[in-house]
Structure 1
Amino acid sequence: MRVDLPARRFSVVPGVPAPVVVTITNTSEIIAGCTVRVLGADPDWVEVDQPELSLFPDASAQVRLLLTLPVGVPAGPRRMAVQVRELTDEQAVAIEEIVVTVPDQPGLDVRLDPVTVTAGRRADFGVVVENNGNTVLEGRLRAEDPEQKITFTFTPPGYSLAPGESVTGRLRTRAKRPVFGSLAVRPFSLFVDDGVRRAPLSASTTAPVGAAPGAPVVPGAAGQGVASPVPAAAAGTKTLAPPVVGAGTAPGADAPRPVAQGVFVQKPLFARGLLSLLGLLVAVTVFAVVIAVGLSSVLARSAADRDLALQVAQARFDSSAATGTAGVSGAVTLISDGQPVPGVAVEIFEASDTTAVVATAATSDTGEFAVDSLPAGDYKMRLRGAGFAEVWYPAGATDAEAEVVSLSSGQQVTGLSVLLGGVPATVSGTVLGEDAAGAVAELQIPLDSAVLAGLVDPLTGAAAPPALGDGAVVRTAPVGGDGTFSFAAVPSPAVYDLVVSKPGFSTQVHRIDVAAGEDRSDIEVSLLEGDGSISGLVTSASGPVPGATVVATYGQGVVQTVSLTQDEIGSFVLRGLQTPATFTVVVSAPGYASATLSVNLAEAQELTGLSVVLGQSAGNLSGQVTVPAGTSAAGVAVTVSDGAVTRQTVTRSSEPAGSWSIGGLPLPATYTVTFSRADLESQVVSVTVDGNGAVSTGPVDVTMRAATGRITGVVTQTATGSSASSPAANVQVTAASGSSTLSVTSASTPQDRGAFVLENVPPGTYTVTFSRKGTRPTSSIVTVVAGQTVELNPQLVSPASISGTVRAAGQPVAGLELRLFVAEEFGTAAPARAVVTSGADGTYLFPDVDAPAHYVIELRSATGTAALATSPALTIGQSDALTYDFSLDSLS
């Protein structure tokens, strides 16, 4: 039987069925049947369309296996095998190994709870970090606020999460508290520094009515969304790749995207309400004087007039305090990118009177709101938020443009949607340099922004983030002779790339986050000539490395190139570098571990001869497991781990049996290799793999021994009345250690008489006891080590016996019959336990008597049946030698 597979390696995404086609050929000369199964996988993971089939000689058939790994399976390679077993008498088996690789699917979810906190000087937020991927993630959290007025403290400062794990921590914010005025709204963003590539955050864009299909949506003036034309390069030819989030993001490279956002709302020390209260007290005083003057006229009114006034006031109160069973609910989203807007005030007015608020609510962290207990009637809604333009539902600037929402008794109007836009912001700053005049400043929407999500095609096979400075241009302003620039009516809130360029100078790109309605005026950009260069060679242990990516960063400036793939293979040149400066140079290539260097350039320096050696990104460990004779070397579990990465496999059952191999191990690293199987003693080996994949110890070969030991030997016993000993059969051998007890009986067959073996004895200290009926037991203490055989050859003392002499008239009597009965059975129909005859000297012997016990001896003549004498009840203990003599006066 021959088995063929189209491939030996498969990549299987958990939850997605993966077909594997197996071709089976009958190479015998008879019709053969066979069964097909997959080894190394849970049976629930595999579906076989033909588990059993029959084949004519030289015929072939295809069996389709459908492999579905459950969601949550850790990433990495898994070794499995397709087994085809013949159903004939020979039971031939064909096994073909396959390697199933589960790709890495990292995923991290970070949430703030609550999203908005109103406090004074200090506020605490709950932070929930959850690993919803299939790889181990480690990192730290950090926070940034646009005004840089908040200090942040995380407890704990970092995290290390296995797949499915989560951790809840605390974020403490502190900021200087305002003395007077209204509430100070301080938004901030959370970032993850983990060096792990993550999928882009999902975002949706909302195009205003009338926008051209496919046109990107950018924030517009006065908080309205407008369709902005995007250059052809941004609309169809540029690409988006997942941003790299974490400490590995170089300054000036694509800025990390926030994973969560929050708002710290600070109350002033002396609120505006306190000042209003003082004015109110003055007004109340004046009002009291007026009331006192008119009180006399009020008292003069008749009782009927007073009662009527009270009734009218009571009616007005009852009317104003009325409640109902109707309600409205909906959601508020940002017009620029469709993200929910928390903390927005929702005010309900009667349609006929938009001066008095009937009910209020605030949007949650998901942007949702709900107002209940409204009476039936017609209403209008106003939505206001700090830094956002006031909107009357659904998109009116005034109450006259608001849409009326009619409610009947008990009616719940849901799904109301309101788009909110930020108040236009102002961005200004200064370009520093000897000759800043003539430079041009641009505000661009980054290509990885949610506004452009889905509008720019990704590069085929691209692994790097999109280049900075190639986004959609929103505003352009010239730089004056004094180096200043300014952008008015900037759509907000939004994230922009500020690009400053001038011929002959290095283009400078700064990522800025503009809050709603913010006046950003503290920006400084250095415009420097790019007159430096770095050149060198990228190599590895196997020679020059072509196509390696070389990135040099300084501040927020980035210069990138690749090593040559022909001519001087592996060489590279980075030109147009600002000097003097210190650059961080990162070199990476597929299949290799990245290398990072720090390079100092003096003014106008052209550095040459930089040598970069790349090590392998992943290595391989393999070896051979040897087990005790008589057992199979297959099925030994092999676990390789460095604390962060863990890989597992089992030893092969096919030739060479006991071999194993695990690939895809990060380098360089020190790994702990553990070998285990239920019947074998586990072994642990530590190995070091360098950056080129070389293993410090070579192949990892181990010899394992049994996990249990043996106790064996031969039991002998001294014969009654003699010093000679012989093997003793039917001796009970018991080994006890704590609550564990093992027992066996010594052999009674002639060739093995007295021999015993206690198998599968767990390691430990045991008390071994040897006992036999009629014999005092003996014990020994032994220590059993895994894989060891302990030999014990005990000698038991003589068994219990009864002897004596029969005399008549003082003379020995021979030939008389003596019968031994158990005392409790004497006089019943029970037979005698033993019968002996007195010897020529009148002596008799009952050897090997069960003890302890009570016996009676009956003396009879050799020919007669009448008892001549009977002994009293005789008590005998283990290994006792009891003597009882019979004395007869005469014999009839």
Structure 2
Amino acid sequence: MRLVTEHLVLQADPGTTIEIPVDVVNTSDLIDGVTARLIGLPDAATRIEPQLLPLFPGAEGRLVMHVDVPPSLTAGSHPVTVEVVSHGSGAPTQHLDLDLSVAAHPALRLHRTPQLIRARRSGRFLLDVENTGNTALDVTLAASLEDGRSTARFSSERLTVDPGTRTPVILVVKGPRMITGAEIDRTAAINLTASRAHSIAAMEETEQDPDLVAETRVVLKQRPTLSRGLLTALILMGIIAVWAAIFVLGLAQVLGGDPVTKKVATSFYPADRVENVAATTPEGALDKEDGLVDPEIGGTIQGVVTAASNLQPVGRILVQAWRDGRDGPVLVSSAATQADGSYRLVGLFPTSYRLRFVAAGYEPAWWSDRGAVGRGRATAVPVPAQGEAEGLQNIVITGLDASITGVVDQGASLTSLPTTVVARSLDIPDAPTVRTTTDGGGTYLLRGLLAPSRYELSFTTEGYEVKTTTTSVAGGEKRLQPSVVPASADGRITGRVELPDGTPAGGVTVTTTVEGETVAVVTPTVGAVGSFTLENLPTPATYVLTFTSETYGADTTIVDLDAGASEDGVVVQVEAGTTSVTGYLRGPDGNGLGGATVTVGGVAATEDGTTTPTTTTLTSGDVGRFSLSGLAAPGDYTLTFTLEGYAPRSVPVSLDGVSPPPVVEVQLNNKLGGIAGQVYGATDNPYVGAQVTITNGLTTWTATSGGAGSIDGNGGYRVEGLPSGTYSVTVTAEGLRQQTAMVVVMEGLTSFQDLALGSGGG
């Protein structure tokens, strides 16, 4: 085999289609059929005409390759190879090396994000330079500003962008400082100029492409540091501050005689600092203008706060110390309780205080030696100098009722079932149980929960396992609980196997598949004869039950179980001497084919005249599955599968009535064509036993004339299941000269071709 072409160097533009003609000469003594393929451009779509080129010895033919050059193929020279393969004479594979020169097509796009930025001084814009051509580009960026006082700066003004890539550039536009005034638009025009980064010497380029240009605009809307509204507000605040100062000075003059805070009793100070108590105020006396008392020398009040609901410590409760002033109560100090409910007020003047306890979600309370009371009944707590108030000022406060809301998510279930939600307190013995039911969307709301407390929440849904969780609520809290996904409960299938007259059938094996594993039970022969139970079945699911017995044959039935559901009372009838066949029908891709007709051949006529039992493969659920029951055993049958658009298929099935029925796996191919004809010998008589070989250059089929399925008497041949296309058909026989013919096969049709063997073959 010899290859010849007109051009070893091919010129092409990206995104176009080129033709590569290759002349092939058959240098062997045999009829040959050749095919070709292109190596070196994996992303290029290639079509070859013809797909199979038949050649007689010494003949010459032409293969034309149509190559779609990818639009993204980079400019320059690309080595490619045409591979020609022989399918008849067995000649060695030939290779033809070519150079594909792709012209340069520079192109680019400029993107900017965002187009406008509102800021006080500067804005950052993202510019994307995208090279949409097939050659590298040198890019230059420049910006022009309408306002001479503004500036613009690129992260990179010059860059090289490879073909098919995007390069980001940051542009910072900065305006002059503005203290006051109205907003101003600072517009920047971005100009881009690009030229090819390099020329391609192999292309012998003599002229440089013109520069590429692109432009866009961005706007910095600059706002002043102080807006007009802010200036107005500052002026008003200044006026208010002046009046407030005047007012405070006046109050200081009026209230300056408060005896409690002006001077501290002599006994408050350490003895070593008091020399003459009766003379004047001791040195170091604290005037009211100096602020609070140093905590090291002030008095202390401490205690523990617990909740009335569960008698547990409560944290984050605000404790306030109030003293009686000349014009009413005065708030002196405050602190928050710790996690263990304890609090400590320090640095208090030596006098009496009333304690108030407040927090969101709790009823306000005042301390008294009788418990929590209102303000008018509060007990004053005396605080000595440099000491602690007598005893612990403990108190029990009442929390407001809390609530819990959440969602019950039933997952992929198509039916939304109501869920009963129950809340039980874990630390309040006498707390009432609160329950509710979810709405159509699975949402629930539990109100009136005593708080603070820990609660156990239980979720009960029909068909699902009961789920529990634990949560805590503070006083008055409206808690949003995480979603709950209940797990479906297992199901059960029970029933009875009986004969057509209602007699229970014992010794029947009931099998099904659970998560890929086979589960089987046998119906009892004494006691509850014929009954069966399959438990712990995951739901929701569809189960195929198979009933087999050496005595009664076999049968099947399908049971659907919803979430957590059970199917009781399944009754299946079996007949002595009958069995069933199950299986799957799949397409060329291995997926199930639904809606196909399954016909049983070899069945004897029944009393009502039925001779060909049929069924249809499932179109939903377990798609492609089929089941045929009531077949007499032992017996031999033929199952024929037909579906529009696919070639029919027949398979034999043998039933012995003892072994478990077979599971038939069948695949249908797309509707195909065929080739048939008659073979004649040297005397023009039909020839039996000739070898017929059919090939499309990739796959070979064989047949023997006069074999099974022959047509037109002896010497006929037939090959089915051929994809549409052109085929080489060759007939050979010992001592006779072979003949080869080219035949075109159409989809769904059979092409006829007669063949003649000549005399004098070797």
TM range (shorter): under 0.3
Q: Considering Cα pairs closer than 8 Å and 6+ residues apart, tell me whether 1 or 2 has the greater RCO.
A: 1
Give the TM-score normalised by the residue count of structure 1.
0.23
